[in-house]
Chain A
Amino acid sequence: MLGPFADPASVKALDHQLGVDRPFYVQYGDWIWKFVRGDLGMSLEYRVSVWSLLGASLLNSLKLAAVAFVLVVPLSLLGGVVAALKRGRFADRAITLTGLSLTAVPEFVSAIILILVLGIWLKLLPVTASAPSGSGFFTQIKFLLLPGLALVMVLFGYIARMARAGTIEALNADYARTAYLKGLGTPVVIRRHVLRNALLPTIAVIATQVGYLIGGLVVIERLFNYNGIGLRIFTAAQNKDFTLLQSGVLLIGIVYLLATFTADVLYAVLNPRIRHGAAE
């Protein structure tokens, strides 16, 4: 912060000003005490409050994550259900293998290929993520589609696999056989009996993907130079801005915990067997 040629006296003064000359347990206690009161401290790099930097970034990341989720959930549920209904046939192998391959490819690699194909060769989408300031809702979404799609490609395989497994389990269940035997047509059985049992738990499981999503955001936001929480943490790490970094990582931990908790609650709400099982 003072440059490589700072004289010892000013280093000492800065150490004192930042409080890093105190024993580490005092610093830690001080940090915890301020943290529980919502004071995250000042960024070492920018000299403004950490919260003012993280708040805006988190909002930007949530926008991107929302675009990705809105795209991936219907797509992958549809893919998973179709694969389950055509189990063992060509469509199933095609969907399963495509999903497996897309999930495996690092998000910045899929993003590069998407930028080349959709952004540059077909000129369908803008290749930057940040819309010009003051642009409307739909323009902003249009700019987020390309980075969102890169995240979709990674998430698709996982969710489709869950949906496929859930649907197959439901198709094999006694109630599905009963429904068939009492003379219901296939579309009715699938809509009324299979999908309800297969998809609701899958939707709850999706929330656990938030953990991956945040990691993916670091890379995607860096690639698109999009000012979200991932890029914040990345630049904080690069600049050794530790106050910003520790609060950012903590914030991600909290978001992740909340998402996992929501998933558990959703799962119990959607699946009465868990609820009643726990009550007994």
Chain B
Amino acid sequence: MPVRPTAAVTARRETFRQLLRSKTLIPGAAIVGFWIFCAILGPTIAPHDPLGQTQPQLVAPSWKYLFGTDQLGRDVLSRVLAGARSIMVVAPAATLLGLVGGTIVGLVTGYFRGLVDDAVSRVIDAVLALPLIVIAVTVLAALGPSTVTLIVVIGIVFTPLVGRTVRAAVLAERSLEYVQAARLRGERAPYVMFVEILPNVMGPIVVEATVRLGYAIFAIAGLTFLGFGVQPPAPDWSLQIYDNYTLLSAGTYWWTVLFPALAIASLVIAVNLIADGIAQVLDR
């Protein structure tokens, strides 16, 4: 049965200590922490109203408007701070949906193998035969753009991807003695899968979670830019770029797109730094 509590606690402390020493995890966590802070308090700490079209239009960055104002007279800094909220809700929600679905699919296919595994694997292959953006654009065009649909579509496409990783981990676990012992004890399959195997495949699932979160932000930002995600006038970063990028070719007004672009870039890079740090510690 499980290892002695003291040993488990020591192992957990050791993992935690390694995570703290990681050179990529800490800077990543600091940046993500900043954006979580903005997602919660953004509209409150913003110097101006992120939606209010009350400022002069297209003012270059200055002390009054640190990031300038956009073509509708909205303060870019306020919109960047408040814009953290939409992506920080939609991306984790889609990731969570994909993780839960993928874990269930992975556990079931890895544990039962045979016909169930074959059938589900073929469906997975079919989903993977098309790029995520293309699937999402098609579905969102048919059902109409909405944030909930976006979350569900990304979650469904992530399910087979996560499922594949979890399945591989379950296949390695299912032949181990503790699983055999549980089965010989007469435990039912759901108990063996979720109580015995699941805790032991949490490592790959956590790594997958951070990697998927990065992809989710990538995909959602792209789809919102295409007009299939968060809808105007929300101060979403991708929407800000979409609203203003046509002004770029004129050669001026760079501040309306550069700051939201840097915000997206800093968030995805930070999430990937965390993913890299966690993978290096847990994948050993």
Q: Is A116 an interface residue (CB 8 A)?
A: yes
CB distance from A126 to the nearest CB of B (A): 10
- Whether, in the assembled complex, A128 has its beta carbon less than 8 Å from a beta carbon of chain B, the answer is yes
Contacts of A115 in B (CB 8 A): 248
Task: Tell me, yes or no, whether B5 is within 8 Å of chain A by CB.
Answer: no
CA distance A115 to B253 in the complex (A): 13
Task: Determine the chain B residues whose CB is within 8 A of the CB of A222 once the complex forms.
Answer: 225-226
Among the listed A108, A215, A237, which residue makes an inter-chain contact with B131, where contact means beta carbons less than 8 Å apart? Answer: A215
Q: Quick one: which of B141, B268, B269, B273 contacts A237, CB cutoff 8 A?
A: B141
B164 smallest CB distance to A (angstroms): 14
Check if B114 is an interface residue, CB within 8 A of chain A.
no
- In chain A, positions 221-280 with a C-beta closer than 8 Å to chain B are 222-223, 233-234, 237-238, 240, 245, 249, 252-253, 256-257
Interchain CB contact (< 8 A) of A108 among B214, B227, B241: B241
Is there contact, CB below 8 Å, between A112 and B248?
yes
Residues in A with CB closer than 8 Å to B226 are 218-219, 222, 234
**Known contacts A120-B248, A257-B129; A107/B134 CB under 8 A:** no
- Check A70 for interface membership: any CB of B closer than 8 A: no
Q: Are A100 and B130 in contact (CB under 8 A)?
A: no
From A107, A212, A223, A240, B245 is in contact (CB under 8 Å) with A223
B271 within 8 A of A: yes
State the CA gap A3–B258 with chains docked (Å). 40
Contact B258 A113 (CB under 8 A): yes
Q: Say yes or no for A101: interface residue by CB 8 A criterion.
A: yes
Which of chain A's residues 116-131 have a Cβ closer than 8 Å to chain B?
116, 120, 127-128
Q: Which B residues are in CB contact (< 8 Å) with A249?
A: 130, 134, 138
Across chains A and B, the number of contacting residue pairs, with CB separation under 8 Å, is: 114
Q: Does B249 belong to the interface (CB within 8 Å)?
A: yes
**Chain A 81-126 interface residues, beta-carbon cutoff 8 Å to B:** 97, 100-101, 103-110, 112-113, 115-116, 120
B36 within 8 A of A: no
Cβ contact within 8 Å between B251 and A104: no
* In the assembled complex, B265 has its CB within 8 A of some CB on chain A: yes
Specify which of A100, A234, A237 lies most central, judged by the most chain B CB atoms within 10 Å of its CB.
Answer: A237
- Contact (A112, B24) CB under 8 Å given A104-B272, A218-B133, A219-B226: no
Q: Of all chain B residues, which has the CB nearest A236?
A: B141
**CB neighbours of A240 from chain B (8 A):** 141-142
B-chain residues with CB within 8 Å of residue A223 when the two chains form the complex: 225, 245
Complex Cα spacing A128 to B245, Å: 12
Contact A107 B222, CB 8 Å, known A97-B24, A113-B261:
yes
Question: Quick one: closest A residue to B126, CB to CB?
Answer: A253
**Are B141 and A211 within 8 A (Cβ)?**
no
Q: List 9 A-B contacts (CB under 8 A).
A: A100-B273, A103-B272, A104-B218, A104-B269, A109-B221, A112-B261, A127-B248, A215-B133, A256-B131
Query: Apart from A109-B241, A219-B226, what are 20 other A-B pairs with CB-CB below 8 Å?
Result: A97-B273, A104-B272, A106-B225, A106-B238, A108-B222, A108-B238, A112-B248, A113-B258, A113-B262, A113-B265, A115-B248, A116-B254, A211-B131, A214-B134, A216-B133, A218-B137, A222-B226, A245-B141, A252-B131, A256-B131
6 shortest interchain CB distances as A-B pairs: A237-B141, A215-B131, A215-B133, A104-B272, A104-B268, A106-B221
